[in-house]
Amino acid sequence: MTKSSKTHLRNPRSKQLLRPVHIVGTGSYVPDRVLTNADLEKLVDTTDEWIVSRSGIKERRIAADWQCTSDLAVEAARRAMEQAKVNEDEIDLIICATITPDMPFPATACLIQQKLGAKRAAAFDMEAACSGFLYGMEVGQQFITSGTYNTVLVIGAEKLSTIIDWEDRSTCVLFGDGAGAVILRSRGEEAGHGILTTCMGADGSQADILLMPAGGARYPATKESVSGRMHHLKMAGKEVFKSAVLAMQTAAEEALRRCNLTIADIKCVIPHQANIRILEAIADRIGAPMDKVYVNLHRYGNISAASVAIALDEAAREGRFQRGDLILLIVFGSGLTWASCVIQW
Ligand code: UT7
């Protein structure tokens, strides 16, 4: 670290010292059912060799019919609450990042609030696709920094299997279901620890390269929208790939620059788990050896907003970093959206 990280804690406008925000608990949950590449070979014209060589994915988890996104989220949330030793009455706010809400409204976060019995908590959903979890963490952090709330539960949860086109081999091999969660709080005394900076960005001019066209106000559900398979995820893979690498590289470099850090200061890089070739390209561009990059996409595929949340929980529980270590999170998704975050654990 080349400069005191305490600088981030100063509000540039008011010069006031801000409350540092910490991740005091993490949790994740993936459903039991495993869908392997061999299973997919029976479903569409694909091969294990193609999927592994083009994406790095070997298997993914698929939720049971009875499990909604809120059920996956609640499992992850309970694990984060248990680790943080936070009970449901202490939660002030629940933010759920998802593109597969249980239903268009009410917000899935409200359904989670009810299932957790977190009666005091305000609750809303955050829609920034695969970037949603870091967008949600930043929003949660702002509420704590400002003194509005003390304890915020942020969840990334997806049941992508419900919007995948299981006849489209170019997308159905890539995605899975699961959830990850964090409890945000200020530990008060430790200025210089916690979330040091978050950078967020968006580019709506490329909204059409990764989307689900129907089901909203533009194309409400009709017989034609269903028969035209418009209620499924569509992706121009190559275009998304190129934008993902550039945006995640730029976001990572910006976060490091803001904290006066270099990649050598970072103990663990946790990127959105979309494609091993994207991860390798980013690692190469920011100068991170691959053993610094946390990878679980071979087991789960891409779980949109849940990916980085699950990876963070697993990396923490595996001891990939210790208290005081610096970690870098980087995400990218539909919108287009992207974000990066440096945390001193
Ligand atoms: O979470 C948001 C972020 N998402 C991403 O970042 C995903 C970004 N994109 C990617 O990861 C990659 O573009 C893919 C994995 C989706 C595709 O890899 P690619 O190297 O860009 O392949 P491609 O789409 O250019 O397809 C190459 C060939 C095509 O055949 P032709 O036209 O060359 O004959 C495809 O039809 O591979 C064919 N193909 C497949 N073959 C076997 C596409 N999907 C499959 C498949 N199995 N599942």
∠ CA 155-173-95, nearest 5°, is 10
Percent of the chain having pLDDT more than 70? 94
The bridge status of strand 59-61 relative to strand 34-36 is: antiparallel
Query: What is the pLDDT averaged over residues 110-125?
Result: 98
Q: Where in the chain is the domain with CATH 3.40.47.10?
A: 22-191, 193-344
C-alpha distance from residue 298 to each of 99, 175, 305, 314 (Å):
22, 11, 17, 14
CA-nearest residue, atom 16 of ligand 1: 237
pLDDT band at 192 (very low <50, low <70, confident <90, very high): low
pLDDT digit string, tens, across residues 276-300: 999 999 999 999 999 999 999 999 9
pLDDT band at 189 (very low <50, low <70, confident <90, very high): low
At residue 190, the pLDDT reads 62
Tokens of 128: 């920034």
At residue 61, the pLDDT reads 98
Active-site option among 37, 275, 296, 302:
302
The verdict on whether 130 is a catalytic residue reads: yes
At residue 187, the pLDDT reads 82
Fold of 193-344: Peroxisomal Thiolase; Chain A, domain 1 (3.40.47)
| 100 C-alpha to ligand 1 centroid (Å) | 23
Is 4's pLDDT higher than 50? Answer: no
Residue 51: left if φ>0, alpha if ψ -120 to 50, beta else—which one? alpha
| 6 C-alpha to ligand 1 centroid (Å) | 44
Query: In terms of Cα–Cα distance, which of 21, 27, 16 is closest to 150?
Result: 21
At residue 33, the pLDDT reads 98
pLDDT digit string, tens, across residues 13-70: 444 457 889 999 999 999 999 999 999 999 999 999 999 999 999 999 999 999 999 9
pLDDT digit string, tens, across residues 207-253: 999 999 999 999 999 999 999 999 999 999 999 999 999 999 999 99
Q: Amino acid identity of 19?
A: R
At residue 35, the pLDDT reads 98
Residues flanking ligand 1, CB < 6 Å? 46, 50-51, 54-55, 130, 169-170, 173, 237-238, 240-241, 244, 274-275, 278, 302, 304, 332-333
Is 152's pLDDT higher than 80? Answer: yes
Which is the closest atom of ligand 1 to the Cα of 244? Answer: 6
Is 6's pLDDT higher than 50? Answer: no
At residue 15, the pLDDT reads 43
CA-nearest residue, atom 28 of ligand 1: 170
| 241 C-alpha to ligand 1 centroid (Å) | 10
| 30 C-alpha to ligand 1 centroid (Å) | 25
Query: What is the pLDDT averaged over residues 183-209?
Result: 89
Which is the closest atom of ligand 1 to the Cα of 44? Answer: 48
The verdict on whether 199 is a catalytic residue reads: no
CA-nearest residue, atom 11 of ligand 1: 275
Which is the closest atom of ligand 1 to the Cα of 307? Answer: 1
At residue 215, the pLDDT reads 96
CA-nearest residue, atom 12 of ligand 1: 237
Mean pLDDT over all residues of the chain? 94
The verdict on whether 302 is a catalytic residue reads: yes
∠ CA 113-115-119, nearest 5°, is 40
Fold of 22-191: Peroxisomal Thiolase; Chain A, domain 1 (3.40.47)
Query: What is the pLDDT averaged over residues 148-172?
Result: 98
CA-nearest residue, atom 18 of ligand 1: 54
At residue 19, the pLDDT reads 83
At residue 101, the pLDDT reads 98
Please answer whether residues 79 and 38 qualify as being in contact, where contact means their C-beta atoms are separated by less than 8 angstroms. no
Query: What is the pLDDT averaged over residues 261-275?
Result: 98
Is 3's pLDDT higher than 60? Answer: no
The residue whose CB lies within 8 Å of the most ligand 1 atoms, and thus the one to mutate among 165, 241, 302, is 241
Is 11's pLDDT higher than 50? Answer: no
Is 268's pLDDT higher than 50? Answer: yes
Tokens of 161: 């299997």
C-alpha distance from residue 168 to each of 225, 242, 312 (Å):
16, 21, 30
Burial of 218 (0-12, 13-18, 19+ CB in 10 A): exposed
Between these two residues, 178 and 15, which has the higher pLDDT value?
178
At residue 13, the pLDDT reads 44
Is 1's pLDDT higher than 50? Answer: no
